[in-house]
A and B are shown apart, each in its own frame.
Chain A
Amino acid sequence: MEKRSTYSRLFTVFFRIGLFTFGGGFAMLPLIEKEIVDVHGWARRDEILDIFALAQSVPGAIGVNTAVFIGLRLRGLLGAMAALLGVVTPSIAIILVIARLFSQFQSNLHLLRAFSGVKAAVVGLIAAAAWRAGKNGVVDRFGLLVVGVAFLLSAFAIIPIIWVIVLGGLGGILHYRRKEGVQ
């Protein structure tokens, strides 16, 4: 049953995952786990779960990071490229078709109606994602302070967004270092 993880198999597996998961990179994780651990036996479950954790803590899209990490672990740099190419190719192909038909979509009444519902849902979806990330992060006064400052800095466009992110990171390091020093 256990076949070697060649470049072409890595490409095919990730192509299938890219083609069949709706809802973004995060929704791919269960399917990736199943394919890599259960179907192909290329890695142990705990290894894959470690990779998922890492992929979510480095910058970048989660689906991209996960494909690169797994490809790299299994077959080195070229393996990472094969997995990545596999996972993004369906996205690009589908979006190209939709983009080409975009003006026709915009005059299709059924689609416009349907999308008015999806758009409202997307606003709720993103708000929920932000709320969850905030809830896990705001555990003390420091967290509240960071949220407040970041919100004001972005609402009034005082400094570039990138600097708000960098400041959040620096603040995190300083705050927790001080807290550990006290203990």
Chain B
Amino acid sequence: MTIYWDLLSTFFKMGLFTFGGGYAMLPLLQREVVEKKKWATEAELMDYYAIGQSTPGIIAVNTASFVGYFQGGLLGAIAATIGLVLPSIMIILVVASVLHQLTDFAWLDHAFAGIRVAVSALVSFSVYKLGKAGIADTFGLVWALLTFAAIAFLKLSPIWIVAVSFVLGNVLRRREGDRAS
């Protein structure tokens, strides 16, 4: 099995079972990319997400391109991205073609309600694992909790929080470095 096919089929699975956007992909990324394939470590996954948040574009696509590039260069990045988007194309073609016939989507709504709840539990466990790998000190822990509160309760925009994090990380770390030296 070539690496390209391996990337394509692995990310196909992720595209097929990601419900709710880039963050919902995290549990599958940890299981498939970190634990099974060993294409990245937990800490590298954290880097990819951090870069994905601070660069333009769709986070799932950014992450797929990253993993794909490090495994198989440009073609690897393209193979992973194609794998990721193929299920979307196939499913949407089907949905669009049956949309005018199906008036009663109630059972589907119920399925999604169950899925969303299951995914939120999966992600909360994943985020604990991610935090263990990516947060090194008290500053990190406090900032993660503040970010959580700002978005969950105050409904601030993630974009501004990422921008502030950039500056704050730089300033605080420099002061720490100055103190140490």
Interface residues of chain A, those whose CB is within 8 Å of chain B, are: 18-28, 54, 56-65, 68-69, 72-73, 77, 80, 84, 87-88, 90-92, 94-96, 98-99, 110, 112-134, 136-138, 143, 146-148, 150-151, 154-155, 157, 160-162, 164-165, 167-173, 175-177
Cross-chain contact B17 with A64 (CB below 8 angstroms): no
Q: Which residue of A lies closest to B147 (CB)?
A: A124
Assembly CA distance A96 to B121 (angstroms): 33
Interface residues of chain B, those whose CB is within 8 Å of chain A, are: 13, 15-28, 31, 46-47, 49-62, 65-66, 69-70, 74, 77-78, 81, 84-85, 87-89, 91-93, 95-96, 106-127, 130-131, 134-136, 139-141, 143-152, 157-159, 161-162, 164-170, 172-174
Q: Pick from A68, A77, A116, A165: contact of B173, CB below 8 A.
A: A116
- List residues of chain A with CB within 8 A of the CB of B49: 119, 122, 126
- List residues of chain B with CB within 8 A of the CB of A25: 21-22, 58-60
- List residues of chain A with CB within 8 A of the CB of B54: 22, 118
Q: How many A-B residue pairs have CB under 8 A?
A: 374
- List residues of chain B with CB within 8 A of the CB of A171: 114, 118
- List residues of chain A with CB within 8 A of the CB of B70: 99
Cross-chain contact A138 with B159 (CB below 8 angstroms): no
Q: Output the least CB separation between B90 and chain A (Å).
A: 10
Q: Pick from A73, A95, A165: contact of B119, CB below 8 A.
A: A165
Cross-chain contact B120 with A23 (CB below 8 angstroms): no
Cross-chain contact A92 with B81 (CB below 8 angstroms): yes
